[in-house]
């Protein structure tokens, strides 16, 4: 079974904590790392410079679709980022933990 990292950004700590806790509790993700970042982007013809939280959801191929649907349905942004990164290599003990944590 392969490992996948789903990336998304959130407007505040409260919203990322909610989905992170829900994802781990429901075994859609084994772990969620997040950190505060600054983002510069264009939204509705305006240049935005915003503080956000970047989240890394660690999951498996088996759970990625369910996780992405959960993120999409619960996300506070009208157009959320939901990016998938396939992990090419991962140490076996960590992969074993990841699989066990999402089963």
CATH (domain of 19): 3.30.70.120
Report the candidate in 3, 13, 26 with the shortest Cα–Cα distance to residue 73: 26
- What is the number of structural domains in the chain? 1
pTM of this prediction? 0.94
What is the extent of the structural domain holding 53?
Answer: 3-101
In a structure prediction context, what are the per-residue pLDDT tens digits for the chain, which is 103 residues long?
A: 799 999 999 999 999 999 999 999 999 999 999 999 999 999 999 999 999 999 999 999 999 999 999 999 999 999 999 999 999 999 999 999 999 999 9
The number of beta carbons lying within 10 Å of the beta carbon of residue 4 is 22
DSSP secondary structure of 18-32: HHHHHHHHTTS-SEE
Contact 64, 12 (CB under 8 A): no
């Amino acid at each position: 079974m392969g490992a996948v990292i789903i990336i998304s950004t959130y407007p505040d700590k409260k919203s990322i904590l909610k989905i992170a806790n829900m994802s781990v509790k429901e075994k859609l993700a084994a772990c969620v790392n997040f950190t505060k970042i600054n983002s510069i982007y264009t939204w509705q013809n305006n240049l935005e410079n915003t503080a956000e939280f970047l989240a890394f959801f660690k999951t498996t191929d088996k759970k990625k679709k369910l996780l992405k649907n959960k993120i999409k349905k619960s996300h506070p942004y009208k157009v959320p980022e939901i990016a998938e990164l396939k992990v090419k290599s991962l140490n076996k003990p960590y992969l074993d933990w990841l699989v066990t944590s999402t089963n």
